């Protein structure tokens, strides 16, 4: 079996089991340390991974290693699980606490996404509340997903054990 088929099928089963199917990550919750209080398209918050970029709802922003600066490889199927970060009508020149240059780039299926240091930015539909980092380190859609630091680099550390799935929740593959 091809290595990426197991994680994709696991992701599909996980999403089906929790009633996932919506491809949006909207949330009205803005409480907790990870919430974006500024309402800016991009801000910085503390998570179990340390300080990372978050969207206006406080959800962790991710980059895909299959992408390159200024180029997204995330197609429509990918975007169903990893929604692109919306580009505001007026893009500020700076965001509080963000040292990376924030801009935008085209998506393969049309539209645009914000970028940090050139890297296209996405959220993850399984991150249900501010501070969640459930997409960290997942190998899907041709690359690995990592949270993004305020400087626009990938955060390569893994979440603490408290935020990782236990074997009883189906998080292990049993290899």
The predicted structure's pLDDT at residue 96: 86
Report the sign of the C-alpha dihedral through residues 175, 127, 13, 154, in that order: negative
What SS3 class is residue 5? helix
The predicted structure's pLDDT at residue 8: 42
The predicted structure's pLDDT at residue 10: 41
Cα–Cα distance between 45 and 72 in angstroms, integer? 24
Q: pTM above 0.75? A: no
Which residue did the predictor score with more confidence, 157 or 80? 80
pLDDT band at 94 (very low <50, low <70, confident <90, very high): confident
Q: Could you tell me the CA-to-CA distances from 96 to 53, 59, 72, 92, 151 in Å, in that order?
A: 11, 16, 25, 10, 12
Report the sign of the C-alpha dihedral through residues 162, 168, 171, 175, in that order: positive
What SS3 class is residue 106? strand
The predicted structure's pLDDT at residue 144: 98
């Amino acid at each position: 079996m091809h290595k990426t088929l197991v994680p994709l099928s696991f992701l599909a089963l996980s999403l089906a089991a929790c009633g996932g199917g919506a491809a949006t990550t909207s949330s009205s919750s803005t409480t907790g340390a990870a919430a974006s209080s500024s309402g800016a398209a991009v801000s910085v918050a503390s998570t179990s991974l340390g300080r990372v970029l978050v969207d206006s709802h406080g959800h962790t922003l991710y980059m895909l290693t299959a992408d390159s600066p200024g180029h997204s490889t995330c197609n429509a199927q990918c975007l169903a699980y990893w929604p692109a970060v919306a580009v505001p009508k007026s893009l500020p020149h700076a965001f509080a606490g963000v040292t990376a240059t924030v801009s935008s780039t085209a998506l393969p299926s049309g539209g645009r996404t914000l970028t940090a240091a050139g890297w296209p930015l996405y959220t993850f539909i399984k991150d249900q509340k501010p501070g969640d980092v459930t997409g960290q380190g997942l190998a899907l859609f041709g690359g690995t997903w990592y949270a993004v630091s305020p400087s626009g680099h990938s955060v390569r550390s893994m979440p603490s054990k408290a935020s990782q799935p236990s074997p009883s929740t189906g998080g292990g593959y049993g290899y």
